[in-house]
Amino acid sequence: MIKICNYHLFFVGALLASTSSVASSSSFDTLAARQEAKPFYHRDIQIGDTTLPFSPASVVIMIISIVMLLRNLLGGPKSSAVASHILVDDTEDAKAKLTAVKKEINDFTKFKGAAQRYSKCPS
C-alpha cells in the first residue's frame, strides 16, 4: 500500500509543471512553424515585436461590417410598402360593382381615386 501526503502531491505537481514548460518550448517552435506556414492573410498581424491577435482578413471583414452598419443606420434606404385594395360589402351586387370599377381603372392614379370612392375600408 502506498501513502501519498500533500508534500508528495506538491512535488509531483512541480515536476509536471517543469516538464510542461519544456514541452511548451518545443511546442512554441511548432506553433511558430505553423504560423509561418499559413498564408499572409491568415497570420496574426505583427508590428515590431508586438503581435496583434487578429489577421488582415479579419480586419477587412470588420471594416466592411462597420461600413455596412453605419451606412444602414445613418442613411440607408428606407423600406416602405403600399397596400391598395377596395373593400366592399358581401352583397349580391358586389361582383357587378367590382367589375364596373375594374373597367373604370386603367392605372394606379385612377385606382387610388376609385378606392377612395367605392371602398368601405376606413384606411
pTM of whole model > 0.95? no
pLDDT at 76: 67
**Three-class SS state of 51:** strand
Cβ atoms of 61 and 69 within 8 Å: the answer is: no
Output the nine-digit C-alpha cell for 46: 505583427
Q: For residue 76, give the amino acid letter.
A: G
Q: What is the largest distance, in Å, between two alpha-carbon atoms of the chain?
A: 104
pLDDT tens figures, 34-68: 878 888 878 888 888 888 888 899 999 999 999 99
The three grid cell numbers given for residue 22, joined into one nine-digit string: 519544456
Three-state DSSP class for residue 84:
coil
